[in-house]
Amino acid sequence: MAASGLLQLWKEWGIQILVLMSFALQVFLLVMGGIRRRSSSTPLRISLWFAYLLADSTAIYTLGHLSMASESGEHRLAAFWAPFLLLHLGGPDNITAYALEDNRLWLRHLQTLGVQVLGAAYVLYRYTAGTGTGTLLLRLASVSMFVAGLVKYAERTWALKRGNMSSLGKSDDWVDPFQLLRPGMGDEETLVRAHAQLAMCRCVFSDTTPSGSRNPKTTDPAYYYSPRLRPYYDEDIFKLLEMELSLTYDMLYTKAAVIHTWYGFCIHFVSLVGTATAFLLFQLSATSSTSGYNKVDVAISYFLLGGALALEVISACRAVFSSWTCFFILSKSKDYSWTSDAWLEWLHCSVLSPLRKPFKPASRRLWRGTMGQYNLFHLCTRERTDLGSRMAVKLGLEELWDKIHFSGTFSGNDSLSMQQFKELLLTTIQRESFARCTYTITTLDTRGRFILDRKNAFDSFAKWSVVDIEFHESILMWHFATDLFIWESKAAHDPKLLEATRVLSNYMVFLLVAKPGMLPGRARDTLSLKSISTLKKMCENFLRDEDNSTLRVSANPRTSFWNNCSAFKQLFLHEGPYSSSITQAQREKVAGVLLCNTKVANNQWANQTGPESLAASRDDMSRCAAWLAKQLLDMDTPSTLELIFAVWVELMIYAAEQCPRDSHVRELCKGGEFITIVWLLIHHWMHTHRHKIA
C-alpha cells in the first residue's frame, strides 16, 4: 500500500521533486565547493563528489523526462523549468571540476551542451505554444531564461577547457623577482602580491621557465638595485606561497580563468539581466487573469526564479569584489604598490576594500595548516587487542587498517607550533645554502648527499643510506634511525628542533604510506609495505624474546572499552603518533631493547660484509636502519640533530621536484600538501638567484 502511494506521488509530482532537488544540489555546491581548498576531510570530499555527479545527472535526467513526457493541462508550467536545468548544468562559479581529469573531458561537456540545448529548445517549442497575453509573457520569460542558461553552460564548458596544466604557464610569462615581499605587509597586500607572482607558480606547474630579468614597464636602472626592492624572505613568505597555490586552484577547479575576463563579465551581465527579466515577465504572466496555472507550480517557479536570481547576484558580487578584480585595479600602478591613478585609488579604497575587509578574504586563501603524520615505531608498538585490529586481521585488511587508523595530523602542539616549524625550515634552507645550490638538488639524484657531503659524513657511513638503495627505503631507514636517535640521544638538543625533526620524519613516511603518488617514480605500495613489514617483524621478534614484562607492548586494561558502544566508537578514531596509548617512557624502553639486541649482531655483520653490500638487500634493511642509528648516536652532539633535520629537508626538496607535477595539482583540491609549498619556495629562490639579486 505504501509503495503504491509513493508511486502515485512520483507520477504526479516527480518533475517538481527533481527540479527542486537540482536546485538544492546547486546551493550545496555553491556553499561547500570552496571549502575543500582548505580541508582534507574525507566526508566533505565524498559528499562533494556525490553532489557534483548527482547535480549533472539530475538535471540531464529531468530535462530528458520533460522532452518525453506528454502534455498536461494541469502542469503547464513544467516546460518553463527546462531553461533552469540548463542554468543548473552551468554549475556554480566556485567548482567546475571535481578532479583534474574532469577538465580533460571538456569535449564531452561540449557535446552534452549541444544535446541539452536542443532538448530544452524542443521542450519550449512544444509546450509553450499558444495564444493569449499570459502565454506570450511566459514564452518571453522562457526565452530569457534559455539565453541565461545557455551562456552559463557555455561558460562552464569553456572554463573546463581552460583548466588544464598546459594553459597555466608560458615561457614568455614575466615575473618580477624584485617584487616578492616587503617588511610589514598585511595579508591583503600579500594577496595582491601573490597575484603579481602567480605567473611564477603557473610556470612551475607547467614546467616552463618564466622571464624576469627586466620589468618592461620600468627603464630606470636604479629601480633594479634599490634597497627598497630587495627580495624579502621571512616566515611570511609561506603566506605568499599558500595564496599563490590557492589562486592556482581557482584557475584549475573553478571558473576563475573565464569569469575574470571581459567576456566573463559579459556572461555575468547577460545571465543576471536574463534571470531578472524572466522573473518580471513571469510575474506578469502569473498575475494574468487567463493564466490558470497550478498554484503549487507557480510557487515552485517563483522559488526557482528567486533562487536563480539570488545565485546570480552572489556570483556577480564574488566576481566584482574578488582579489582578481582588486589586482587588476592595483596593477595599473608602476610597481604594484598602493599608489595609483586617483579614480582607481578611490575605487579600491572607498568601495572594494571596505566591502572586502569584514569577510577577511585573504585569510581564507591560506593553507589548512596540518601535516599528515605516520610513525613506524608507533605502528610497531601499537595496541593489538582493540576490536578494529582484530577485525582487520580476520578480514585480511590489516594493512589498510594500519594506514587509516594509525595515521594522524600535526597542526602544532605545546612544544612546537606550525609557525615555529616553518621558521625552522626556512632557517635551515638559508643556513645550508639550499637556494644557491638548487640546480644540484633538483637535477641530480642527491637525496641528502649534499648535506652529508658538507658535513663530511657521506663517505664514512651514509652513502649506502641515501644513494645505493631505493628512495622509499631511504625514507624508511632514516625515519627509523631518527626515532631511535631521538629516544636514545644524551646530548642537549633544542626541544623545538627535536620536535620539528620528528614531525618532518613522520610527514615523509605519511606521504610514502598514504600518498605514494607525491613521491618520485611510480607508486610502490607493495615494496614500501614489504619494507614496513620487515621493520615490524624486527620489533615484534625483539619484544617476543624480551623477558621483562614492562617492556612488552600491550593495552592497559580498560573495562569500559569492551562496552559495545565504546568498542564501536573506537573503530572511527584515529590513533596517530600524537594520540597513542603507548607512553613515551614505554617507547624509550623499547628503543633501548632494539639497540641493545642489534648492537652485537650489527658489529658482526659489519665486520663480515659491511653496510654497503647489505644495504641493497631488502631483507637486511631493518639492520641497516639500526646500524645508521648507532652511527648517529656515536657522533651524538648538538649539531647531529641539525644534520638529521637538514637531511630530511633535502629529501623533501628532492621528492617535491622529482614527483609528477600533476600530483601536486591533484592535492590542491584536497587541501594541499606542505611539500608543494616547499617546492614552490625553492623555485622562487631559483628564480631570484638566477637573476643575481639576492
pLDDT confidence of residue 72? 55
Round the CA-based radius of gyration of the chain to a whole number and report it. 30
List CB contacts of 622: < 8 A, sequence separation 6 or more: 480, 534, 535, 537, 538
pLDDT confidence of residue 472? 84
- Phi first, then psi: what are they for 250, rounded to 5°? -60, -40
pLDDT confidence of residue 124? 86
DSSP per-residue string spanning 353-419: HHHHGGG-TTGGGS----EEE--HHHHHT----SHHHHHHHHHT-HHHHHHHHT-EEESB-SS-BHH
Nearest to 670 by CA among 521, 504, 515: 515
Which residue's entry shows cell 589548512?
A: 368
SS3 call for 38: helix
Helix H or strand E encompassing 239: helix 237-253
DSSP per-residue string spanning 502-524: HHHHHHHHHHHHH-GGGSSSS--
Whole-prediction pTM value?
0.87
- Phi first, then psi: what are they for 172, rounded to 5°? -95, 10
CB distance 278 to 255 below 8 Å? no
Which residue's entry shows cell 656515536?
A: 634
Q: CA 290, CA 60: separation in Å to the nearest integer?
A: 32
SS3 call for 456: coil
pLDDT confidence of residue 361? 76
In this structure, how many other beta carbons lie within 10 angstroms of the beta carbon of residue 494? 13
In this structure, how many other beta carbons lie within 10 angstroms of the beta carbon of residue 634? 9
In this structure, how many other beta carbons lie within 10 angstroms of the beta carbon of residue 404? 14
Q: Which three cell numbers stand for residue 81?
A: 523549468
Q: Which three cell numbers stand for residue 384?
A: 593489538
Q: CA geometry: angle at 152 spanning 71 and 106, to 5°?
A: 105
Q: Which residues of the chain have pLDDT under 50?
A: 213-229, 333-340, 443-444, 547-563, 567-568, 600-601, 604-610, 614-618, 694
Q: CA geometry: angle at 47 spanning 42 and 50, to 5°?
A: 125
pLDDT confidence of residue 591? 67
Kindly list the domain boundaries of the chain, sorted by start residue: 15-167+257-320, 371-555+565-659
pLDDT confidence of residue 399? 76
List CB contacts of 688: < 8 A, sequence separation 6 or more: 177, 180, 231, 435, 694
Helix H or strand E encompassing 176: none
